[in-house]
Structure 1
């Protein structure tokens, strides 16, 4: 790993790109179609948990993973929902029909005795793969995620399968290779690390939080421009000497560090050679 990093030109490369190149060159996270993998899944609002899936394919900087889900046991009028097709022939509404009258039946097929006895342990990828091979788990993209609706007009009614125009169901995810794990425990570690980081941030003062954000900007600037520690310190001291550091924002623009107060629009460029 060390030799590979030495061979990389670190100048003008950000940390993410370097990490990606190192992983690719070291063949660190190569996966095969059908592999069961885990990752730290972001559900939004700071909620993270371990999720698992099956590798579909891998590119140099992305692993495409299919979600897995229990087989679909829904029956429409006794027909498996994946086999049910929208009716073309319209029928007469039944006698004494009201808007509450069900015009089709939705039931579920029974689990087989083998399914009931099968012990799925999501922490063990081999049991997930076995459940998939037996058909107990399926790829989510094979499951119908639309609606079953009754289409009623003056010509009669029919039962149809529809995907609402505003509905988009996500059945896979694309992740950086180094964010995909072969074990549940490693993905769980990332989840726990994030939770610890959230709690750490709650203990920071507004000043400490602002300084951390400034440091992140300066670290990127130093790495991308191969700048000296002395120039970094000059810029940092210049920013921290201002009033209301808690309200200062920083960014990189055209290889320069810029700053402004959060309630202002104008960005100001900082020249380290002019900083005392």
Structure 2
């Protein structure tokens, strides 16, 4: 009789373990899927206008890319480096999308002017030299604030901010010696938008458009080297002639990039 009872208890235990195991596996699998959505980033707390709690992810990105820039009568090719930091909501806020806001700091390094590029600061609008110069032809920094939405890795955003460009214009010459060079600066309000896709919240592939209207303020931000003065280029400076900055210089920049999220 005892053997029958022990056998019956053993059968019950066997059935209990056989049914409990899949449930544990399913629960573990479900937990893994939920945790899998929380990848890189730090979690911060906040509150909504109604006082309810809302949680956000804090992200950083380091980016490299390339741009084609239209600056007045000149066009440039650049290599870009950038850094972004932004918050993204954990809970969806609109149609299953996650809201994100922060800043995208970009520093374009201008390699050379493109064919047909002309001066923005001389009244002759002389052509820029494309090959006979040393180093780069300029650099800049772009500081915007951005707001966007993300859905299953795809995102779109808009931004607005300010930019500064530090350019070096070199001009062809038939005279002996170095080609004349003028260093000058531009600044102004910018705006734009972009879209992209985040691969497993590790890599971000993106596209951006930036537009604006910049100002060249002339002296003391515009400096003529000895060769430029020797060829009387300073006499053709628009800001020297008018005594005021050059306003409303069209600025358009199209860029693509890849960034690592951390």
Please give the TM-score of this superposition, normalised by the length of structure 2: 0.21
More helix by share: 1
Please give the TM-score of this superposition, normalised by the length of structure 1: 0.20
More strand by share: 2
Please tell me whether Structure 1 or Structure 2 has the larger radius of gyration of its CA atoms: 2
